[in-house]
Structure formats: C-alpha cells, structure tokens
A and B are shown apart, each in its own frame.
Chain A
Amino acid sequence: MHEASIAQALLEAITAEAKKQKAKPLSAKISCGAFSGINDEALTFAFEAISEKTICQNTKLIIKQKPVQAKCKNGHVYPLDIHKPKCPKCKTEEFELLPEEPLLLEEIEFEEK
C-alpha cells in the first residue's frame, strides 16, 4: 500500500528531470530491493492514477526487483532466497544480510525533440 507514496515521489523525480530535458518521458526504469516490499502492479496502478494529466501521463514504468544479497560465514556473496537460505557454494546457512540498495530511479527514456 505504500506504493502510493512511492508513486508520488517518483512522479516528482521524473517531472523534475522532464523539465530539465524539456521533453516528454516515455518510460522510466526503476529498481527496488526485494525487502522494500514493492508490488509491481500496485506501483504501476498508483503511478498511472496520479500521473494523469501531467507530463508523465502514459510514461511506462519498468520495475526491476533486486534480490537481497547475503554474505555467508565463508565470505561468499549470493542473492538470498529467504526460504532456501543456503549458500550455493559452501552450503552453510550461516549468513548475514548485506545492506539493501535504496529505491532508485535508474534511467528515463525521453521523446525525440
């Protein structure tokens, strides 16, 4: 449900860039860590709703979910499946979670001027 506030922040960020570029944004790539609990459909729906009648109307969101990274006790870094947390290399289940990447607006594709 927090997708609504994220959509609002995203709209502001894309709009600011569109003003700078003086062009209409066609699509925007964003990435989010799995622990940020973002549901793709909910974010897309919220963004479509609030971007209506703005420069971001019809801007397509491309959402990339990034798995949480774990580091096992032997130092191997791997994408973590929380329900099968074994290290693929040494099979240990002793790991620590690495800090998660923030929600990022990665790239915007603009209309040709």
Chain B
Amino acid sequence: MPKVKIRKKILIANEEFALQNRTFLKDRRLPCLNCISSPGSGKTTLLAKTIEMLKGTLNIGVIEGDIQTDIDTRRIKKAGAPAYQINTNGACHLSAAQVSYAFHQLPIDSLDLIFIENVGNLVCPSTFDLGETDKIAVLSVPEGDDKPAKYPMIFARAAAVIINKIDLVKGTDFNIKKVKADISRLNKKTKIFLVSAKTGQGMKDWCAWLKELI
C-alpha cells in the first residue's frame, strides 16, 4: 500500500486565524488576555471588578465565550465596559476565527486592553491558540488545591494565575503553599495573584500588573 508522508498541522486553519489576530493586535499595540478556568471560578466577577477598579485608567473591552446565553456580557456592560458575546452552541472552546470576528464588534480603537473570557473548561481551550498576547488561568479556592497538578496544560502556559475566592480559604484545607509550588514547578515565570474579586482583597496588585502590560 502506498504511504504518503504529510507532516501537516491539523489545526492549521485555526492557526492561520490566530496569526492574523496576533498581527491585528500587534499593529495596534493592544494587549489581549485569554482567560481560562473551570466554570464557576469567578472569571466574570474578576473581570467586572477589574473594569470597575480601572475605570478612567484603562479602557477595557471583553469578548465573552459561553455555550449559551448573554448573561456574562450583560454583567460586563453593567460594570461599564463594551463587550461582545460569542455563543458556541455546544463547543467547549473558542476558536481564533470567532475571536477575529469579535474584534470588529468592539470599539477597538478606543481600547487599551482586551480580555477574552473563554468557555469555562480547564482542558480544551488551552489547545486552541486565539492569537492572544497571553493566556491567564483563574483557579478558585473551592475547586481544590490539586487542580494545577491534575490539569497542568493551562498552568504551564499561563502568564499569570489568579487564585480567586481567597476570602473562603479559612475553614478549607486549600493549601496555598502547595498550590504555589505546583504552579511554579510547571512554569517558573508565571505571576501568581491571591485575590477575592468579591471583597476586593488582592485586586490592587493584579490591577497594577495589568497596567504594566500597556
């Protein structure tokens, strides 16, 4: 039987869009962070609080990815930022083509920073390059401190890890030291923030880091 060597990237179509997105952002010197976490880690609360705290300092735009509904987009708009909702209708991750379209639905020239809130899922979104400047991971205390060890792929690639709901740490066996060590082992360069988007604890440091990106 004839065998043909191919050596072709399977996700080439996505990668072409990702490259296009990366060029689009670079031309505008616009940083874009792809936020990845499990469902319910508090990504939207974190973004809404960040928008409120940086109002007047940074103009933030948000691309929301969810399987269904525009609940998150409404929350972001209420916090005072432009947002565009992508509904994936079942798909467990965003694609670079969807993000490319979404860029043009935002007032792109007035923005200093874009967040992409990916579909809540710790596995699939980390495989699909969206052309973002960096990935960030959000992990919340109730999920447990074993997640970086169990789902290394996103933590290994994140420029920052936000450990959210830190106000709930008392009364749980969530071990901050262990989780920090696990994350650093995967990725020495990543910046770790301990925050509570609800109470505002730790948010200043996170916002200061964002301002440095600009």
Report yes or no: A2 in contact with B7, Cβ–Cβ below 8 A.
no
Report yes or no: A2 in contact with B6, Cβ–Cβ below 8 A.
no
Q: Is A112 an interface residue (CB 8 A)?
A: yes
Question: Which residues of chain B from 163 to 194 have a CB within 8 Å of any chain A CB?
Answer: 185-188
Whole-angstrom distance between the alpha carbons of A12 and B14 in the complex?
13
Whole-angstrom distance between the alpha carbons of A88 and B125 in the complex?
32
Q: Is B153 an interface residue (CB 8 A)?
A: yes
Question: Which residues of chain B from 1 to 60 have a CB within 8 Å of any chain A CB?
Answer: 1-15
Point out the residue from A13, A23, A37, A109 that lies within 8 Å of B8, measured CB to CB: A13
Q: Report how many residues on chain B are interfacial, defined by Cβ distance under 8 Å.
A: 34
Q: Is A5 an interface residue (CB 8 A)?
A: yes
Q: Is A30 an interface residue (CB 8 A)?
A: yes
Report yes or no: A102 in contact with B6, Cβ–Cβ below 8 A.
no
**A37-B4 CB under 8 A given contacts A9-B13, A83-B149:** no
Convert A64-91 into 0s and 1s, putting 1 for each residue whose CB lies closer than 8 angstroms to a CB of B.
Answer: 0000100000000000001101000000
Complex interface: stretch among B87-95, B133-141, B206-214:
B87-95
Convert B141-153 into 0s and 1s, putting 1 for each residue whose CB lies closer than 8 angstroms to a CB of A.
Answer: 0000000010011
Report yes or no: A112 in contact with B9, Cβ–Cβ below 8 A.
no
**A96-B10 CB under 8 A given contacts A107-B4, A109-B3, A110-B1:** no
- Pair count A-B, CB < 8 A: 98
**A37-B126 CB under 8 A given contacts A82-B152, A103-B10:** yes
Whole-angstrom distance between the alpha carbons of A111 and B1 in the complex?
6
Chain A residues with Cβ under 8 A from B7's Cβ? Answer: 104-106
User: What is the CB-to-nearest-CB distance from A54 to chain B, in angstroms, rounded to a whole number?
Assistant: 17
Report yes or no: B4 in contact with A17, Cβ–Cβ below 8 A.
yes
**A37-B124 CB under 8 A given contacts A26-B1, A83-B149:** yes
Question: Which residues of chain A from 9 to 66 have a CB within 8 Å of any chain B CB?
Answer: 9-10, 12-13, 17, 21, 23, 26, 30, 35-37
Q: Is B111 an interface residue (CB 8 A)?
A: no
Report yes or no: B187 in contact with A105, Cβ–Cβ below 8 A.
no
Whole-angstrom distance between the alpha carbons of A107 and B127 in the complex?
22
Report yes or no: A110 in contact with B10, Cβ–Cβ below 8 A.
no
Most B C-beta atoms less than 10 A away, residue of A35, A106, A109:
A35
Q: Is B128 an interface residue (CB 8 A)?
A: yes
Q: Is B102 an interface residue (CB 8 A)?
A: no
Point out the residue from A9, A82, A108 that lies within 8 Å of B10, measured CB to CB: A9
**A6-B153 CB under 8 A given contacts A35-B126, A106-B5:** no
Point out the residue from A6, A12, A108 that lies within 8 Å of B4, measured CB to CB: A108
Whole-angstrom distance between the alpha carbons of A2 and B123 in the complex?
9
Report yes or no: A96 in contact with B2, Cβ–Cβ below 8 A.
no
Q: Is B156 an interface residue (CB 8 A)?
A: yes
User: What is the CB-to-nearest-CB distance from A73 to chain B, in angstroms, rounded to a whole number?
Assistant: 10
Instruction: Give the interface of B toward A (CB within 8 A).
Output: 1-15, 91-93, 95, 121, 123-124, 126-128, 149, 152-153, 156-157, 185-188
Which 7 interchain pairs have the tightest Cβ spacing?
A2-B124, A35-B153, A1-B92, A103-B10, A37-B123, A36-B127, A105-B8
